[in-house]
Amino acid sequence: MIDLAGKHIVLGLSGGIACYKAAELCRSLIKQGATVQVVMTEAAEQFITAVTLQALSGRPVFTSQWDARTSGGVDNNMPHINLSREADAILIAPASADFMAKLLHGRADDLLSLMCLARPLDKVPLILAPAMNREMWAHPATQRNVEQLRADGTMVLDVGAGDQACGETGDGRMLEPEELQYELVRFFTPKVLAGQHVLISAGPTYEAIDPVRGITNLSSGKMGFAIARAAHEAGAHVTLVAGPVALPTPRGVGRINVKSALNMQKSLHLLAQTATVFISAAAVADWRPAVPASQKIKKDGSGQPPAMAFVENPDILAEIASGARARSGLLYCVGFAAESQDLLAQAQKKRERKGVPLLVGNIGPDTFGQDENALLLVDAQGSTDLPRADKLHLARQLVAEIARRLPA
């Protein structure tokens, strides 16, 4: 998916070893459809060359306020004005401790700081990706500066933790290029779910037969995880209750791992008490073995399979939806329906049966494990088709559809 099409990003580099990550970042922003103008400080040039960044961005790199080349299509020898005026956002990655201290005081003795100071505050957002040694990051001076920069309207991103170039371990690593790219995409996403706490169930459940075997469903969890990401991009506080899947947790999303339908039921009921939207994307196993064996069931030599009794699992969505109606609709519930045929009729029936305002139908065998899907949204008014597309694309459309339906 092209997530940053039409966006013009000024990528600023101040001095720090994390400059090596800026090259990858520049490349990935361009892959996402953005145009990138790189501006570097003298200190940044100690870590990476302008040649590398010019090659990756396809544009000359600016490093000096005295650079007389045409900038932003203008020949007035004022790159600090021209470069900032055309930006949809300025992202400083890495933002060193020294550079942040400088910004805080409104100092402007090099092109990058001068450009940041000269940017139109109301039109050009400034985003900082700090990178420094853990002691420098934890220092009260730095923390004070971060707080003040935020109060001045600058978006200061968090830092990563782990091994640092100096050999120490702790907080202060610059976020990885893909995390920074995610933050930019999120920044540009309309916050249609601001103030909402969205609870999402995803993936299959696993019902143990004995310690080595169980029954489960064909579900990769990809759709639910994509919805979690899209809801977070849209400004929601998101909690994901995931069955056994190996997918990475979307950035900024809280995750609780569960195994069986009963585990999932317990977590969801608890979280539903504070959620404002519940999206039930999990493929909950309909039945579980009545009494799972505590030891591995052995073949008894008769050639006959062991007798096995099953009981039905609780319908978690129907339970939560009925609780939500009792709370006078404070929780908006969305169900899914995985069908193999007659999608519209089945989805309409399931919506009524589960007692939810919105039900999202899909043809299971056409989507299980794949990166694409097609959705049919069914509510009291009728149905809406979301044609086959990448799951993240569909998740973003679904989030917009849910936001439109939320009570004011």
Residues catalogued as catalytic: 166
Binding-site residue total for ligand CTP (CB under 6 A)?
16
Q: Which is nearer to ligand CTP, 183 or 207 (CB)?
A: 207
Q: Which is nearer to ligand CTP, 172 or 214 (CB)?
A: 214
Strands 254-257 and 237-242: parallel
Task: Note whether 375 binds ligand CTP by CB under 6 A.
Answer: no
How many helices (H) and strands (E) would you count in the chain? 13, 19
Interface region with ligand CTP, contact rule CB under 6 A, candidates 176-184, 241-249, 279-287, 324-332: 279-287
Task: Note whether 316 binds ligand CTP by CB under 6 A.
Answer: yes
In angstroms, the first-to-last Cα distance of the chain is 32
Report residue 382: phi and psi, to 5°: 150, -145
Answer yes or no: are the C-beta atoms of 126 and 116 closer than 8 Å: yes
Task: Note whether 317 binds ligand CTP by CB under 6 A.
Answer: yes
Please report how close the Cβ of residue 312 comes to ligand CTP at its closest, in angstroms. 8
Identified binder of ligand CTP from the candidate list 337, 343, 399, 403, rule CB under 6 A = 337
Helix (H, G, I), strand (E, B) or coil at 63: coil
Residue at token pair 């585990």: 263
Identified binder of ligand CTP from the candidate list 284, 331, 375, 398, rule CB under 6 A = 284
Strands 277-280 and 206-210: unpaired
| Gap between the Cα atoms of 237 and 230, Å rounded | 11
Task: Note whether 267 binds ligand CTP by CB under 6 A.
Answer: no
Interface region with ligand CTP, contact rule CB under 6 A, candidates 51-59, 230-238, 289-297, 311-319: 311-319
| Gap between the Cα atoms of 304 and 382, Å rounded | 50
Kindly write down the DSSP assignment for every residue of 136-179, as one continuous string.
Answer: HHHSHHHHHHHHHHHHTT-EE---EEEE-TTS-EEEEEPPPHHH
Task: Note whether 4 binds ligand CTP by CB under 6 A.
Answer: no
**CA geometry: angle at 97 spanning 93 and 99, to 5°?**
65
Task: Note whether 282 binds ligand CTP by CB under 6 A.
Answer: yes
Please report how close the Cβ of residue 224 comes to ligand CTP at its closest, in angstroms. 9
Please report how close the Cβ of residue 217 comes to ligand CTP at its closest, in angstroms. 8
| Gap between the Cα atoms of 65 and 253, Å rounded | 41
Interface region with ligand CTP, contact rule CB under 6 A, candidates 135-143, 179-187, 329-337, 383-391: 329-337
Q: Which is nearer to ligand CTP, 234 or 316 (CB)?
A: 316
Task: Note whether 171 binds ligand CTP by CB under 6 A.
Answer: no
Q: Which is nearer to ligand CTP, 220 or 280 (CB)?
A: 280
Please report how close the Cβ of residue 256 comes to ligand CTP at its closest, in angstroms. 16
Among residues 233, 358, 357, 207, the alpha carbon closest in space to that of 290 is found at 207
Interface region with ligand CTP, contact rule CB under 6 A, candidates 25-33, 146-154, 296-304, 332-340: 332-340
Kindly write down the DSSP assignment for every residue of 196-262, as one continuous string.
Answer: -EEEEEESB-EEEEETTEEEE----SHHHHHHHHHHHHTT-EEEEEE-S--PPPPTT-EEEE--SHH
Please report how close the Cβ of residue 336 comes to ligand CTP at its closest, in angstroms. 4
Q: Which is nearer to ligand CTP, 271 or 282 (CB)?
A: 282
By the criterion CB under 6 A, which residues form the site for ligand CTP? 201, 261, 280, 282, 284, 286, 313, 315-317, 335-338, 350, 354
